[in-house]
Amino acid sequence: MGFKCGIVGLPNVGKSTLFNALTKTAAAQAANYPFCTIEPNTGEVAVPDPRLSALAEKARSAQIVPTRITFVDIAGLVRGASKGEGLGNQFLGNIREVDAIVHVLRCFEDSDITHVEGRIDPVSDAETVETELMLSDLESLERRVVPLRKRAQGGDKDIKEQVELMDLALEELRNGRPARVASIPKGAEAGFAALNLLTAKPVLYVCNVEEAAAATGNSQSARVFEMAEKQGAKAVIISAAIEAEVAQLDDAEQKEFLETLGLEEPGLDRLIRAGYDLLGLITYFTAGPKEARAWTIVKGTKAPQAAGVIHTDFERGFIRAQTIAFEDYIAYGEVKAKELGKARDEGKDYVVQDGDVMLFKFNT
């Protein structure tokens, strides 16, 4: 299963620089003019997880296979995008294809890099993009809901429920709030997601700061964190310029370089993990002599569906899952964990937990 985070923002805020560092490629052209990214660039990156190395060492695995997440670098948006300004239609269409939005905000001063609106104000930038997304959603819903209201009057239960969900989103949008803050009835989450609204997607704000502020942030990033807290959103601090440098270094050089800046790890590691969390994802592991591998599932997934991520036959013929908590696997290893009763046989109703080390039994 694939999970995509779309990197968005106004032109010249550091989106492509960040994307290049994320994927360690020059696939996205980073240049000082709007719309240098014309087609969305896509790159898969490994999700950093120190548990995987520890697991591989314990299981004496020959290979380590991390789980991955996809980032899409999307062309910069400008005011009026919902009406087709700039590359608006393309921008909005590309956002519809991603699962979550990573919104890069410029929190640094640099006279050599122009700002599309002539000032540095990340909160205002965020509002500009959010407004365009809300206007697009509002226009889309108002157009779609009219014929559905007529059909709902005919007694079609499914259509009536769809209209009710649309009305919940419309109420928020008409009051200047994104659709994701709407109170969705329990059990209706899938139906709401099916509306495919831009402002229903979860958002992570990335504060792109100057090198000196990479460890602690600055006054501009503090404003973004305050805004995110009010919205129930998340934010991280990144210096795209630093990350671009770090991406060119080997592991030993990276560590030394980061230490001189007072950083414990690359900011990209925090960003990737935050994107993973933003999508409500967790990791379970499989381990053996051949490989130690991480697998991505949505929080709340039951054992048969988790097995299906490896192969559909595993889900179809699921019998049970031998499950060992990560901490127990590291402490005792598989054989000793079984002897001590730390290995559990779980059935079809078991909800997989983050860090579970699993071995599936299934019929072929």
Query: Which DSSP string corresponds to 309-357?
Result: HH-HHHHHTEEEEEEE-HHHHHHHHHHHHHHTT--EEE-TTPBPPTT-E
- Phi, psi for residue 344 in degrees, rounded to 5: -110, 145
> Is-contact 286 357, C-beta < 8 A?
yes
Same domain? 272 vs 309: no
Instruction: Name the residue type at position 121.
Output: D
Note whether residue 286 is domain-resident: no
Q: Residue 239 has what pLDDT? A: 92
State which amino acid sits at residue 283. T
Q: Are residues 249 and 183 in the same domain?
A: yes
Boundary (domain end) residue, out of 246, 278, 310: 278
User: Is 71 within a domain?
Assistant: yes
Range of the domain at 304: 300-362
Of the candidates 219, 223, 264, the one whose C-alpha atom is nearest the C-alpha of residue 246 is 264
Q: Number of structural domains, the chain? A: 2
- Say yes or no: 188 and 307 in one domain: no
Write the CATH number for 149: 3.40.50.300
Residues 256 and 309 in one domain: no
Are the C-beta atoms of 247 and 20 separated by less than 8 Å?
yes
Same domain flag for 44 and 85: yes
Query: Phi then psi for 324, rounded to 5 degrees?
Result: -125, 130
Q: Would you give the end-to-end CA distance of the chain in angstroms?
A: 22
**Does 128 appear as a known binding residue?**
no
Give CA–CA dist 169/180, Å, rounded.
Answer: 8
Q: Is residue 289 part of a domain?
A: no
Closest Cα to residue 58, out of 322, 334, 323, 283?
334
pLDDT one-digit tens code per residue, 37-51: 445 588 888 888 899
Q: Do residues 314 and 263 share a domain?
A: no
State pTM to two decimals: 0.80
Q: Is residue 118 situated within a structural domain? A: yes
- Domain boundary at 278, 308, 329, which? 278
Q: How far apart are CA 238 and CA 218, in angstroms?
A: 11
Residues 342 and 200 in one domain: no
Task: Extract the residue ranges of the chain whose pLDDT is less than 50.
Answer: 25-38, 81-82, 85-88
Q: Is 296 annotated as a binding residue?
A: no
- Which stretches does DSSP call E strand in 47-88? 63-65, 68-73
Is the Cβ–Cβ distance between 189 and 150 less than 8 Å? no
Considering the domain architecture, whether residues 315 and 233 belong to the same structural domain is answered as no
3-state SS assignment for residue 172: helix
Partners of 324 in beta bridges: 357
Domain ends where: 243, 278, 313?
278
Burial of 160 (0-12, 13-18, 19+ CB in 10 A): middle
Residues 217 and 174 in one domain: yes
Q: Is 14 annotated as a binding residue?
A: yes
Domain for residue 284, yes or no? Answer: no
Model pLDDT, residue 324: 97
202/350 same-domain check: no
State residue 232's pLDDT score: 75
Known binding residue 13? Answer is yes
The answer as to whether 126 is a domain residue is yes
Report yes or no on 294 lying in a domain. no
Characterize 109-137 residue by residue with b for buried, 16 or more Cβ atoms within 10 angstroms of its Cβ, and e for exposed.
eeeeeebbeeebbbeebbebbbbbbbbbb
Beta bridge partners of residue 6, listed in sequence order? 72, 101
Same domain? For 311 and 274 the reply is: no
Token pair listed for 120:
């540095």
CB atoms within 10 A of CB 261: 14
293 in a structural domain:
no
The reply to whether 119 and 256 lie within a common domain is yes
